[in-house]
Amino acid sequence: MYLHHSRDGLHWQRFTEHRPFVPRGAPGAYDSVDLETPNQPFEVGDELWFYYGGMRVHHDWWIYGQQQGLDVPEASDPGLAQNGHHLCLATLRRDGYVSLDATVREGYVETKPLFSTAPHLFLNARCGRGGYVRVEAMDIWNNVWSGFGGADAVTFTGDSVRHRGAWTGGDRVSQIPGSVKLRFILRNAELYGFQFGEA
């Protein structure tokens, strides 16, 4: 199973790395030959659930393979055609498709100017051993707001899809007037996303 991406919902592209999103199983496994899904994922708690059909038989063997005399396992074991299809489930953390990562060296990423009337900033992030995420809030000229700098931030060191950011200046980014830019400072951490929202 592979992922595609689109900015407009009309033109789709594969990711350059072309790695499978859900790889096929080992030979003989319930999903070793084919994976297919007809639906979008379901949001269940903090996870995305992907139901898919997993097969250990070739999906077109009973249409063409027998006529063509293909040497496949289901040719010698007709029971596979009845028992080779399975309903499977793969799970992913919410918004866990991609992440911005930092390893042993501290790094940072800055947003464009953002505006929201929602009071709080929430992070979707996971930290490794000794890892952390801190957030700075700046004006559109990159001047850090008093009380909302990296040194003022309550450092996040855990694993959460909805961690509420906080600083010595408070936890309500809505008290900053106008647009705000965010600078995420990371070390040994994965940042999956962020959003402004209510408590």
List, for residues 128-139, the tens digit of each pLDDT value: 999 999 999 999
- Residue 17 CA to residue 143 CA, distance in Å, equals 37
CATH number for 100-197: choose from 3.30.230, 2.60.40, 2.30.30, 2.60.120: 2.60.120
Q: What is the pLDDT of residue 181?
A: 94
The beta strands (E) that lie in 79-119 are given as: 85-93, 100-102, 107-110
Those residues with Cβ within 8 angstroms of residue 138's Cβ, 6 or more apart along the chain or in another chain: 110, 144, 145, 180, 181, 182, 183
CATH 2.60.120 intervals, the chain? 100-197
DSSP H or E stretch at residue 79: helix 79-83
3-state secondary structure of 111: coil
CA atoms within 13 A on the CB side of 51: 8
Tracing tokens 């700046």 back to the chain, one arrives at 138
The span from the CA of 19 to the CA of 95, in Å, is: 18
Beta carbons of 144 and 137 less than 8 angstroms apart: yes
Successive 10-residue mean pLDDT values, the chain, 199 residues: 82 81 84 83 93 80 68 69 78 92 95 92 96 94 91 94 91 86 96 92
Q: Hey, what are 137's tokens?
A: 């809030």
- Whether the CB-CB separation of 187 and 102 falls below 8 Å is answered with yes
Question: What's the token pair of residue 167?
Answer: 């600083």
**Residue 70 pLDDT:** 72
Distance CA 41, CA 45 (A): 12
Specify the pLDDT at position 46: 93
Q: What is the reported pLDDT for 16?
A: 75
What is d(CA 195, CA 108) in angstroms, rounded to the nearest whole number?
17
Supply the pLDDT for residue 38.
80
